[in-house]
Structure 1
Amino acid sequence: MNSIFTEIYNDRLFQIIVSAIVAAIVSVAAIPVIIKISRLKNLMAEPGERSSHIKKTPTLGGVAIFASTLISYFLWSNPDEGEFVHLSISAMVILFFLGVKDDILVLSPKKKMYVQIAASALVVVFGDVRLENLFGIFGIDEVPYILSLPLTVFVFIALINAINLIDGIDGLAGGIGMICGGLFGLWFYLNGYFAMACLAASMAGSLFGFLRFNYSKTSKIFMGDTGSLIVGFLLTMFAIKFVQLNIAYRFDPNALFSAPILAIVVLIVPIFDTLRVFIVRLKDKKSPFVGDRNHLHHILIDSGMTHLQASVVLWVFTVVSTIAFLFITKNTDNTTSLYILGGLFGLYMWLSHILKARNAKRQELLDAAEAEAQKQKEIQEQQAILLEEKKLGKPALEIR
């Protein structure tokens, strides 16, 4: 009997599942305490012009995500973890303190950028987590070492901030992080990279616990910059490591997918949304870094969807796109696959534009109806005054 329990305890799948469950439990247990402290110390987000919320809300949910991810990951020894995992955890700690300070005090974008670059460079330079091969996309295979360093740091910064940008409605960033972490974690497990699978499962579990409160009406909390920085960093690290580990299969005719294309598709929502809002802002001759309500999730909310409905639409889009590209790109070269992805982005842009135009038209009709109702109300008030004056024998007022 003991040998059976020992065998189960040492089973890697069992450990990964337990890590995800423990992460969810720790997250659920920690968040109420964080909410209470946030309210006592008034560490709350004030509703702003671009906000989709009307109440002050705690913003330190990322503290629970950070703690529950690391606690559940360290439940087991992971003999296959490389130096890059230790460095990734060090980078997470750096980003954690950056996020907490920004959530409480609000830092300048430049300071945040410098720290993000430092944390990313730590993993890229010393952990050798690099985009070292583009799999023949546009005829490019191996990327020279000296070019791969800044390229990979740029990808880290871009994706970290892309996750931050989609954190505009309840459940979107958390749900996307959970789904993407689960997809990457599944691949890592199936291919024997248990340390990475455990870390991905821990993050996904912590986000599952966080979502329980992110959707709560009475105990709502946001992940804040603390959460978005950590989730964005880990997803980027998973994506780049996923590409690295698949380099050996780039010429394999039996390969099921092209790693760079699939990594982009798994992260399709933050990538597409960030590209789209930057293009729209530049077209409107605005700074691409100035916030607005041009994000697709804002457009979906303005069209009448709830936060949950809008998030589910984008969650489903992630899963369906990933499954579809596994079939579409199986026998397609990588450059063509990228063109197909570009076509999908064009469709995404067009549908977003149509939906936004429809929202604007509907708002215009609502404003016109409201103006007409106000005008009728004024006429009725004048008519009431006219009748009253007739009763009193006073001269009538002209109704305009």
Structure 2
Amino acid sequence: MQITIYATIISFVIVLLIGPIIIPALKRFKFGQNIRDDGPKSHLKKAGTPTMGGIIFILSIIITTFIVQRKMSGPLYVALITTVGYGFIGFLDDSLKIIKKRSLGLRAYQKLIGQITFAFILSYYAYINKDIGSVIHIPFTNSMVDFGIFYIPFMMFVIVGVTNSVNLTDGLDGLASGVTLIVSIFFAIVTYGLGDKDLSLFCGALSGSLLGFLKYNSYPAQVFMGDTGSLALGGAISALAVLLRMPFILVIVGGIYVVETLSDIIQIISFKTTGKRVFKMAPLHHHFEQEGWHETKIVAWFCIFTAILCLIGFLAISF
């Protein structure tokens, strides 16, 4: 447990130290957020707020990992590669948005190619690792199901889905970072219980960096994480779920990610088939904004809901 606590404290302090350096640099280079024209009108005032802030906690995770554990195991190394890899895809996306001064960066197929590549690396590593293999834990049971040759494509689907779900959740100040902080704490407790020191260290570094990042990202945000941060967080969380053989558990504890994605899918299908919208705006957090909720209230309730789901998650693996 000590190594996890050390990692949490160190990563937290690193974010507090480098935040005041990186945020002014982002402002100086005019790395400001472009706001979607079809988004909530209340968000227009956020235009120009520095984005790509995910660089802050990505650097913190990397530095902390090397400080606390210089000799990395395979799973820890792969978790870092997945996090940084997805963060790099987001970095390219954010860079194009800034250069072209629009709310769209990489084309969908370009993003997908990058996401599939890193999803394959993670899935293949887990598949050939004798300590992980092709088995997956079934929630609320002691059972493990062997997916056999279908394991790699299934896990790739899960990984790409998770990263894009976290990306969709990043729509309000502190929402993605707050929700993911709670999920990372859940996995920190799980890894400690399993005696996995390396992944527990990774969870501690992730949790501490997000806790520090909330100082700058909570309402009113001084910096946005951008796709650089949201895709990196998706990569980190999906890596933990895969390496711990708990993708179905992630569906529970990451319920907010699931609901946000489903609301977007339902909205698109409904509008294209009937011409009517189910929600006032999608994803779901924007619907509540249109209902008159302040974004701090939405973030608070989504975090509370995630905390409850994590408690259910503990029940799901305690059989």
TM-score greater than 0.5 by the shorter chain:
yes
Q: Give me the TM-score of the superposition, normalised by structure 2.
A: 0.84
Q: Which residue of structure 1 aligns with residue 236 of structure 2?
A: 234
Q: Which residue of structure 2 aligns with residue 86 of structure 1?
A: 77
SS at match of 1:89: helix
Q: Which residue of structure 1 aligns with residue 145 of structure 2?
A: 141
| Contact 2:119-2:159 within 8 A present in 1 as well | yes
Q: Give me the TM-score of the superposition, normalised by structure 1.
A: 0.68
Q: Which residue of structure 1 aligns with residue 160 of structure 2?
A: 157
After TM superposition, list the pairs within 5 Å mapping 1:315-354 onto structure 2. Answer: 315-324=303-312, 326=314
| Equivalent position to 2:226, from 220, 224, 228 | 224
For residues 147-182 of structure 1, the C-alpha deviation after alignment (integer angstroms, 9 at most, x for no partner) is 111110110000000000000001110011110000
| Contact 2:136-2:146 within 8 A present in 1 as well | yes
Distance 1:130 1:308, change over 3 A: farther
For residues 215-272 of structure 1, the C-alpha deviation after alignment (integer angstroms, 9 at most, x for no partner) is 254x610011111111101111112223x2xxxxxxxxxxxxxx55533211110012
What is the CA distance between 1:327 and its match in structure 2?
5.2
Q: Which amino acid aligns with 1:296?
A: L
After TM superposition, list the pairs within 5 Å mapping 1:1-400 onto structure 2. Answer: 13-49=1-37, 50-51=39-40, 52-53=42-43, 54-55=45-46, 56-77=48-69, 82-105=73-96, 106-128=105-127, 132-133=135-136, 135=138, 141-144=145-148, 146-215=149-218, 217=220, 220-242=222-244, 244=245, 261-285=248-272, 293-324=281-312, 326=314
Distance 1:136 1:304, change over 3 A: closer
| Contact 2:169-2:257 within 8 A present in 1 as well | yes
Distance 1:212 1:130, change over 3 A: farther
Q: Which amino acid aligns with 2:257?
A: P
Sequence identity (%): 25
Q: Which amino acid aligns with 2:255?
A: I
For 2:269 and 2:175, locate their aligned partners in 1 and report how far apart those are by CA, in whole Å. 25
Deviates more, 1:105-114 or 1:271-280: 271-280
For 1:189 and 1:196, locate their aligned partners in 2 and report how far apart those are by CA, in whole Å. 8
Distance 1:209 1:131, change over 3 A: farther
SS at match of 1:205: helix
For 2:282 and 2:200, locate their aligned partners in 1 and report how far apart those are by CA, in whole Å. 35
For 1:163 and 1:117, locate their aligned partners in 2 and report how far apart those are by CA, in whole Å. 16
By relative contact order (CA 8 Å, sep 6+), the higher-ranking structure is 2
For residues 336-366 of structure 1, the C-alpha deviation after alignment (integer angstroms, 9 at most, x for no partner) is xxxxxxxxxxxxxxxxxxxxxxxxxxxxxxx
SS at match of 2:272: coil
SS at match of 1:58: coil
SS at match of 1:168: coil
Deviates more, 1:153-162 or 1:319-328: 319-328
| Matched residue count | 296
Q: Structure 2: state its 5+ residue gaps.
A: 97-104
Distance 1:78 1:263, change over 3 A: farther
> What stretches of structure 1 move > 4 A for 4+ residues in a row?
324-331
SS at match of 2:292: coil
SS at match of 2:145: strand
For 1:214 and 1:236, locate their aligned partners in 2 and report how far apart those are by CA, in whole Å. 22
What is the CA distance between 1:115 and its match in structure 2?
0.8
Q: Which amino acid aligns with 2:249?
A: L
Distance 1:63 1:192, change over 3 A: same
Q: Which amino acid aligns with 1:263?
A: L
